[in-house]
Amino acid sequence: MKAYEKLLLENKAWAKEKTEDDPGYFERLSHIQTPEFLWIGCSDSRVPANEITNTQPGEIFVHRNVANLVIHTDVNLLSVLEYAVAHLKIKHVIVCGHYGCGGVKAAMTNHDFKQVLNMWLRNIKDVYRLHRSELDDINDETKRFNRLVELNVVEQVQHLAKTSIIQRAWQNEQRPHLHGWVYDLKDGIINPVFEMTAGTHIDPLYEYDDL
């Protein structure tokens, strides 16, 4: 059997088991989608949103990319954000990074990963530059790497707060709350590192005054 065929086979077994446990399961899920959370995580296969939070289909709206970046020109991310905030009315946006992130690690090197990866990783190099003095003071390489993972998450949460999508929702509906989390591959634990409640003031340069 080919590897991908096993996936299809496992899927059939999973669907059968779900239906046996709860005959109305798929029928119910097909009619409603009211997740409370938007998850912006890393594409890394070891950090599956539902599994590590023990949540079910229907509970978390998910967007994943390399190193969980929030880039203000990324139409994909912004479409997900707009849909989740304005239409699904989600209450919490979680940016979840993870220690050992290959994207963050790559950005700490001077290696040419070729376009377009160089373009993508540039955003993480910019985070490093913003926190250069703190990071350069950390002698231990793993600790410096871990700290950049955390700072990257903080930065991405702040990027969310700079969007008119979030600012409009904050002004009109006092939601969503923004969270920056870091997952540890070594023990499976998520550490909250940053939070912005609805209405938090940010650098005035980025605040819209005519939403």
As annotated, the active-site residues are 42, 44, 46, 98, 101
The residue (of 42 and 153) whose beta carbon lies closer to Co ion is: 42
Select the residue interacting with Co ion from 39, 41, 44, 153 (CB under 5 A). Answer: 44
- Looking at residue 86, the DSSP 8-state letter turns out to be I
The token pair that represents 106 in the structure block: 């790559």
Select the residue interacting with Co ion from 77, 84, 96, 101 (CB under 5 A). Answer: 101
Report how far apart, in Å, the C-alpha atoms of 28 and of each of 17, 20, 23, 154 are.
16, 14, 10, 37
Distance CA 58, CA 45 (A): 20
The residue (of 85 and 101) whose beta carbon lies closer to Co ion is: 101
Give the x-and-dash track for 165-204 against Co ion (CB under 5 A): ----------------------------------------
Question: Minimum CB separation from Co ion for residue 72, in Å?
Answer: 21
Question: Minimum CB separation from Co ion for residue 140, in Å?
Answer: 20
Residues in the chain: 211
Question: Minimum CB separation from Co ion for residue 96, in Å?
Answer: 10
| 42 near Co ion, judged by CB under 5 A | yes
Stretch that binds Co ion, among 8-16, 34-42, 86-94, 106-114 (CB under 5 A): 34-42
Question: Minimum CB separation from Co ion for residue 48, in Å?
Answer: 12
Stretch that binds Co ion, among 78-86, 93-101, 183-191, 199-207 (CB under 5 A): 93-101
| Number of Cβ within a 10 Å radius of residue 163 | 19
- Half-sphere CA count of 182, side-chain side, radius 13 A: 21
- Looking at residue 14, the DSSP 8-state letter turns out to be H
Question: Minimum CB separation from Co ion for residue 156, in Å?
Answer: 12
CB 90 within 8 A of CB 38: yes
Distance CA 181, CA 191 (A): 6
The residue (of 44 and 150) whose beta carbon lies closer to Co ion is: 44
Phi, psi of 151 (to 5 degrees): -65, -35
- Half-sphere CA count of 21, side-chain side, radius 13 A: 8
| 150 near Co ion, judged by CB under 5 A | no
Q: Which residues bind Co ion (CB under 5 A)?
A: 42, 44, 101
